[in-house]
């Protein structure tokens, strides 16, 4: 039975992905909740039926009080079957209706709403560009992905568990009192007006207060995760107290904003108790007055008393539910700042897979300054022939990493274009472009998974034999076989920790090298591929690196100039332009910038004096 209700909605159903989701709350929720439209209708109907049943019971109890005024024997003879029917309804039909209502809500809607939101939000965020992620805290992004789905689920729950139920109950209460005596509707109607005004006052303030509190909580999460992610730097520079103070500012802001929100709830609670007192005195007092005048029966007084006491008990719950509803809408609105952001770096509408035949790369008038007007690249024209090995050299901020990011289409160039075998990379799918490019980065971070999973990222269908062969080529097999994690997993099954923190820098670099060897892409990008290796290991895999390059188009960035001295051509970048190019020997003989770099090297690296402070 549970499985039937749990499978009423498929949270993973296919849907048209939007590059620009709705930016307003209601259209955003409507687009996500479309698969639930039928089950929502069923839940609303069941909520109204449940409220009607509860009101019917109150009316029935009033009727029972009235008939008990007669002779007991006559009461049973006249109303016996009606009383038996009422008992059967209370014992059997009412629980069945209640069970159906809660199973639709608790088992059909609640598990699937959060799952659908979390799945689609994560899917949307993963489509964002690298630049988008570089402009935010990973912790804050993750926090919004995780907190928005429960907020949606809670809001949906309150709609059907409290709001639709209470609306039906209020209308039904007016009808029940009206049947007893239309004049009893007056105090209830007046109370509903005052109650509505209190709700309006609360709602207008709770929404912004809840959003401010959610923003503050996200900021705390971002700062805390940032500290944990960079724990080595914190410990190394002995900035424990500084980080505590940095986090305390955000924590105190959270306390202050949450305190303002709680003030509203206090005002709401006190006002509600006062209003409920007016309701009880107004309705029950008037009912008693009518009874004393002979205008209302004792059953009508009993029904009026039961109704008002029931409404009195419900009002706090309804107000809290309503406040929670709008509080959760505030959390959703805050989450939308991340999960509803447009995706600006998209495939062209008619994008086709990259068809790589030779591996020729052409940069035509390529400029990119990250919107700052300076830094990056400036009007680069360059053709890299199929199979040619290019080395990139330059000061920090010269544009080397920018060139690589543009080639991978992590950013779209502000001016100019990049062609691979005559195909503009903006006109091919991003997935096919990156499938044809292998890259080893200076920051060789790994996924918090097993060594095997990290290696198979390069080629998911690789056999164990191919995987081990690649690891051996990268001089990684021996240390991998000696690994063991705290859970007792060994070798290729050992987990490497967040960003590969359980491995040394050299070990991480060798795993990433093995991953690229396994990928065997026709275009190879090396960004300080051996920077984390000691001289002995570098010498051991130097031939492997050049073997990897055989038959591929290669672009290698290096500060250790000896690693690119055997390249076919070396490009020297300065202030975003190519200022020199040629073979190692040619550039040395010309006595230009490259020759000065070579002369100033210390331990095989560019001398720090030649560096600038600008960021690439």
Backbone angles phi, psi at 384, to 5 degrees: -110, 120
**Which string of DSSP letters, residue by residue, matches 466-507?**
HHHHHHHHTT-HHHHHT-B-TT--BGGGSB--GGGTTS-HHH
CATH of 26-339, one of 1.20.1560.10, 3.30.420.40, 3.30.2010.30, 2.30.30.760: 1.20.1560.10
Q: What pLDDT, in 10s, does the model give residues 127-163?
A: 888 888 878 777 778 888 888 898 998 888 888 877 7
Contact 569, 383 (CB under 8 A): no
| Minimum mean pLDDT range among 256-260, 299-303, 349-353 | 299-303
Backbone angles phi, psi at 282, to 5 degrees: -65, -50
Q: What pLDDT, in 10s, does the model give residues 62-106?
A: 777 777 766 777 777 787 888 888 888 888 888 898 899 889 988
How large is the average pLDDT for residues 170-197? 79
Contact 583, 568 (CB under 8 A): yes
Phi-psi region of 379 (alpha: psi -120 to 50; beta: other; left: phi over 0): left
Query: Could you tell me the maximum CA-CA distance found in the chain, to the nearest angstrom?
Result: 124
Q: 548: closest CA among 458, 483, 462? A: 458
For residue 541, pLDDT beyond 80? no
For residue 269, pLDDT beyond 60? yes
Helix or strand run (H / E) with residue 415: strand 415-420
Return the structure tokens found at 263.
């003030």
Domain boundaries, the chain: 26-339, 354-435+569-616
Q: How far apart are CA 288 and CA 302, in angstroms?
A: 10
Contact 130, 102 (CB under 8 A): no
pLDDT for the residue 611: 43
Cβ neighbours of residue 492 closer than 8 Å, sequence gap 6 or more: 450, 451, 452, 455, 467, 468, 480
Q: How far apart are CA 394 and CA 608, in angstroms?
A: 12
With both helix axes pointing from N to C terminus, report the angle between 298-339 and 185-229 in degrees, rounded to the nearest 10: 30
Q: Was domain 354-435+569-616 assigned CATH 3.40.50.300? A: yes
């Amino acid at each position: 039975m549970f499985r039937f209700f749990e499978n009423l909605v498929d949270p993973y159903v296919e849907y048209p992905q939007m590059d620009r989701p709705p930016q307003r709350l209601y259209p955003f929720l409507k687009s996500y909740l479309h698969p639930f439209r039928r089950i929502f209708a069923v839940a609303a109907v069941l909520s109204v039926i449940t409220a009607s049943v509860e009101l019917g019971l109150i009316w029935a109890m009033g009727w029972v009080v009235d008939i008990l005024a007669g002779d007991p024997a006559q009461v049973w003879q006249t109303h016996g079957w009606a009383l038996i029917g009422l008992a059967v309804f209370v014992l059997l039909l009412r629980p069945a209706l209640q069970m159906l209502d809660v199973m639709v809500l608790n088992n059909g809607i609640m598990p699937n709403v959060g799952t659908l939101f979390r799945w689609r939000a994560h899917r949307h965020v993963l489509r964002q560009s690298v630049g988008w992620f570089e402009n935010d805290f990973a912790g804050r992004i993750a926090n919004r992905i995780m907190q928005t789905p429960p907020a949606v689920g809670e809001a949906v729950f309150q709609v059907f568990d409290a709001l639709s139920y209470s609306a039906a109950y209020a209308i039904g209460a007016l009808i029940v009192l009206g049947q007893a005596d239309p004049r009893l509707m007056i105090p209830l109607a007046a109370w509903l007006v005052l109650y509505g005004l209190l709700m309006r006052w609360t709602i207008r303030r709770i929404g912004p207060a809840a959003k401010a509190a959610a923003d503050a909580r996200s900021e705390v999460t971002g700062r805390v995760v940032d500290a944990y992610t960079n724990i080595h730097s914190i410990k190394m520079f002995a900035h424990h107290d500084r980080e505590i103070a940095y986090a305390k500012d955000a924590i105190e802001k959270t306390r202050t904003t949450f305190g303002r929100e709680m003030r509203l709830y206090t005002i709401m609670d006190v006002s509600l108790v006062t209003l409920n007192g007016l309701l009880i005195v107004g309705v029950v007092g008037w009912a008693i007055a009518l009874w004393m005048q002979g205008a209302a029966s004792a059953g009508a007084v009993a029904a009026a008393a039961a109704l008002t006491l029931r409404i009195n008990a419900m009002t706090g719950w309804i107000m809290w539910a309503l406040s929670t509803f709008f509080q959760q809408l505030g959390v959703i609105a805050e989450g939308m700042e991340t999960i509803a952001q447009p995706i600006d770096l998209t495939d062209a509408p008619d994008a086709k897979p990259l068809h790589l035949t030779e591996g020729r790369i052409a940069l035509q008038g390529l400029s990119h300054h990250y919107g700052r007007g300076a830094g990056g690249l400036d009007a680069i024209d360059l053709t890299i022939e199929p199979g040619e090995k290019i080395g990139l050299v330059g000061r920090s901020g010269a544009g080397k990493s920018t060139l690589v990011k543009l080639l991978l289409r992590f950013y779209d160039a502000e001016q100019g274009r990049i062609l691979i075998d005559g195909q503009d990379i903006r006109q091919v799918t991003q997935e096919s472009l990156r499938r044809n490019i292998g890259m080893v980065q200076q920051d060789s971070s790994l996924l918090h998974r097993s060594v095997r999973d990290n290696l198979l990222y390069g080629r998911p269908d690789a056999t164990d034999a191919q995987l081990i062969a690649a690891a051996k080529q990268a001089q990684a097999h021996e240390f991998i076989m000696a690994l063991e994690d705290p859970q007792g997993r060994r070798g290729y099954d050992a987990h490497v920790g967040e960003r590969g923190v359980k491995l040394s820098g050299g070990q991480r670099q060798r795993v990433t090298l093995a991953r690229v060897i396994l990928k065997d892409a026709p275009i190879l990008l090396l960004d300080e591929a051996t920077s984390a290796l000691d001289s002995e290991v570098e010498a051991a895999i130097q031939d492997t690196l050049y073997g990897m390059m055989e038959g591929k188009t290669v672009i290698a960035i290096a500060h250790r100039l000896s690693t690119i001295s055997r390249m076919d051509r070396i490009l020297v970048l300065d202030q975003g332009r190519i200022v020199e190019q040629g073979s190692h020997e040619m550039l040395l003989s010309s006595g230009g910038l490259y020759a000065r770099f070579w002369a100033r090297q210390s331990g095989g690296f560019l001398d720090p004096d030649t560096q600038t402070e600008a960021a690439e």
